[in-house]
Amino acid sequence: MKSITYCIFISLLLYNCTPKKQQQIPLQTKIQGSWIDARYAETEQSTDTGLIIKTYNSSPFQIPIGINFQKNKLEYFKQFIEYKLDTITRKRSYDTFVGFVPYQLKADSLFIQHPLKDKLLFKCTIDASKKDTLLLKKKDTTYLTLVPLVKKPKDSLQFDQVVLSRSGCFGSCPIMNISIQRDGRLVYYGEKFTDHIGVFQGKLSPEFTNYIFKKLEDIQISKVDEYYSVGHTDDETISSTFLKNGNIVKTISDYGQAGTKEMLWAYCATLNLDKQIKLSSIPFNTKVPILDRVYFEKGTKRLFLEKSEGFLLWQAFQNATITPANFEKKYTFHGGYFRSSIKKIESDGQLYKVYLKDGHMTTYDLGYNFIEKNFTETDFKKLE
């Protein structure tokens, strides 16, 4: 009897000392979070799988792929896009969608509820067997390697409004301006090559507003440069002006989309909002054209405005009052109206005397000094 009891004791001891089989982590748990194409990862790193990730900047027309998995929905950083061709006019157009969409996992297969096709579509299979790596495959062939996107600390430079403008290019690039405020209010001015020509207003939902501003905050505007440019010509310039309590805190000019990956993702999220939300047309002062490629001249110095800053000033004109007041001219306003009815503009920063080619003159009062509020003397550059 003692022998039997001893054998049972030894058996139980051996069983408890044997390592338990690791629990299988569900695929859905493994993929949670934000991922980026490994080629565009922030730093070089080597995992225990031997995967080497090297950093290099994106090239023009090549926006890095990023995916954010959150429970049963995902976000595609490059936006969903669907091209269309008019069989009669042969003109090409497109629809876009930004935001989160539902997804399903069937074993290792990823299915996405495509927002523009309104159906569940197979995307790929996911291999998550390697640490901190997702291999996206089709027909057993890896076409994309994703690694975790490095989470950055919150930027110290805060803003509650952004104005983005596209200048157009040597071709049919959209020419447009959009102003988005933290409360969701939106003003859109389509000039050319857009679905909406004219001035419109809209309102984003609180959830969508938070989504858009999260994309903008990820840029970390205090840390990026003010100017980016590619090495070729005939491309467009995207200018972005960030404001806090109505004051400009920073403007970024990006020629040819040479900016950071976060900037490119923010463009995807914001520049096509007119295709995704309901807009209503609003009246505007047609005597004041969009102020593009303009500058203030003061003596031998000039203050050049980016297109987004010019749109901000144009918006101020829309709310200005007409006044008979006279003022001492400090600045002469140049550029941007050579094809309009305007002959010239004189200003002291708050009052603007607009001379028309037909001989008429009107003085507008913005109610504040646009130049002193947003710029300093060092922003005026002496001509060489």
**CATH number, residue 247:** 3.30.1560
Of 79, 285, 16, whose CA–CA distance to 8 is shortest?
Answer: 16
pLDDT digits (tens, 9 = 90+) for 142-153: 999 999 999 889
Long-range contacts of 370-375 (CB under 8 A, 24+ apart): 370/313, 370/316, 371/296, 371/303, 371/331, 371/347, 373/246, 373/247, 374/247, 374/248, 374/309, 375/248, 375/303
Look up the pTM and report it.
0.87
Over residues 357-384, mean pLDDT: 92
Q: Is residue 200 part of a domain?
A: yes
Q: How many domains does the chain have?
A: 3
Q: Is residue 362 part of a domain?
A: yes
* Last residue in a domain, options 228, 246, 281: 281
Confidence label for 337 from pLDDT (cuts 50, 70 and 90):
low
Q: Is residue 259 part of a domain?
A: yes
Residue 381's alpha-carbon distances to 82, 138, 298, 311, 346, in angstroms, are: 45, 55, 10, 21, 19
Q: Is residue 13 part of a domain?
A: no
Range of the domain at 49: 27-148
pLDDT digits (tens, 9 = 90+) for 61-103: 579 999 999 999 999 999 999 988 878 877 788 899 999 999 9
State the amino acid at position 230 in one-letter form. Answer: V
